[in-house]
Amino acid sequence: MTPRARVIRALTFAGPDRAPRDLWRLPGVGLFRQGELDAMLARYPIDFAQAEYRYGAALRVSGTPERAGSYTDEWGCVWNVMEDGVVGEVKAHPLADWEALGRYAAPWEVLEGADFSRTDACCAATDRFVRGSTCVRLFERMQFLRGVENLFVDFACEPEAVLALRDLVHAYYLREIELWTQTAVDAIFFMDDWGSQHNLLISPAQWRAIFKPCYAEYCARIKASGKFVFFHSDGYIEPILEDLIEIGVDAINLQLFCMDIEGIAARYRGRITFWGEICRQHVLPFGSVGAVRQAVRRVRRALDDGRGGVIAQCEWGNADPAENIAAVFETWLEPRGR
């Protein structure tokens, strides 16, 4: 079975020969542990590929994202990075003052200068499942532009301004998704972190009123192009899982260990593909190999019925032991029911 066929069978609950593999890693793994990373990928090849593409030059960008210091992204948000290989946090927000919204423009030059001329050939040259990775993160981008505290106050006090900001960012992301739909990739990915450790960051009703229509539009455009929808969100997001299924998300990457895994399985197994993950807060960085194996077995007992609907994914943190990452993939190869 080819990797592409394996992933499609997992997504369509058609009985893949095994769970497809996917490995994420923080920037520091590639910067400082490339040898370990190469060895891991040689031992456990992943079933996904990234297409070749290039976005246009951004007018506002300065600095280096993966090195300690500060850098400015394409939207003009200034990030502070405390150590090499870590993403960092936004500390200066272009729209901290609402008066700036009227004269603010999205970085359209990035999309206007995008080059997808090699993307289709890249897809044709591999037997792996090709996922197009957009920069779409509507809620998070609004936080980066406005400031987290400001935006949460705005939900209560400045609802019209919130909608204006949403629409500005949403229009940009719709265009980005449209560019990807014109390529031969198998799936298109977008993201937003919606959960705290135990709750959604805003009420489900507010999420449905403000953000769900935008997500539904992203999914509709992706589906209309014949591609699968992949979505990531951190934290406790169980209150909106039903909504994500309804609008057409095919694969969800979420922090299962923040939620009731068995309860999630009872309600949603067979309706959406669980694209990982294994606990990266506690188990992968601090647990023993045995603890990692038990975590994977718990996920498999709950979600892996042999029909598909699961992807063997985890995220390799900068300091996570390599043996723990290997244990994830080794345990996914065990017979089901362990």
Q: Is residue 38 part of a domain?
A: yes
Residue 198 — left, alpha, or beta (φ > 0 → left; ψ -120 to 50 → alpha)? alpha
Residues 83-95: tens digit of each pLDDT: 999 989 999 999 9
Residues 5-35: tens digit of each pLDDT: 999 999 999 999 999 999 999 999 999 999 9
Q: Is residue 71 part of a domain?
A: no
Find the mean pLDDT for residues 69-78: 97
Number of domains observed in the structure of the chain: 1
What is the band of 245 on the pLDDT scale with cuts at 50, 70, 90? very high
Residues 247-291: tens digit of each pLDDT: 999 999 999 999 999 999 999 999 999 999 999 999 999 999 999
Q: Is residue 67 part of a domain?
A: no
Q: Is residue 79 part of a domain?
A: no
Q: Is residue 113 part of a domain?
A: yes
Looking up tokens 């805003």 gives 202
Residues 40-50: tens digit of each pLDDT: 999 999 999 99
Please report, to the nearest 10 degrees, the dihedral formed by the alpha carbons of residues 131, 320, 303, 49 taken in order. 20
Instruction: Report yes or no: 208 and 230 within 8 Å, Cβ to Cβ.
Output: no
Instruction: Report yes or no: 43 and 36 within 8 Å, Cβ to Cβ.
Output: no
CATH number at residue 308: 3.20.20.210
Q: Say what the pLDDT of residue 66 is.
A: 85
Domain that holds residue 138: 3-56+98-332
What is each CA distance from 240 to 28, 79, 215, 268, in whole angstroms? Answer: 32, 29, 12, 12
Q: Is residue 63 part of a domain?
A: no
CA nearest to 136, candidates 196, 185, 88, 176: 176
Residues 158-197: tens digit of each pLDDT: 999 999 999 999 999 999 999 999 999 999 999 999 999 9
Q: Is residue 130 part of a domain?
A: yes
Q: Is residue 310 part of a domain?
A: yes
Which pair of tokens denotes residue 65? 């994202």
Q: Say what the pLDDT of residue 336 is.
A: 86
Q: Say what the pLDDT of residue 83 is.
A: 92
Q: Say what the pLDDT of residue 139 is.
A: 98
Residue 64 CA to residue 109 CA, distance in Å, equals 20
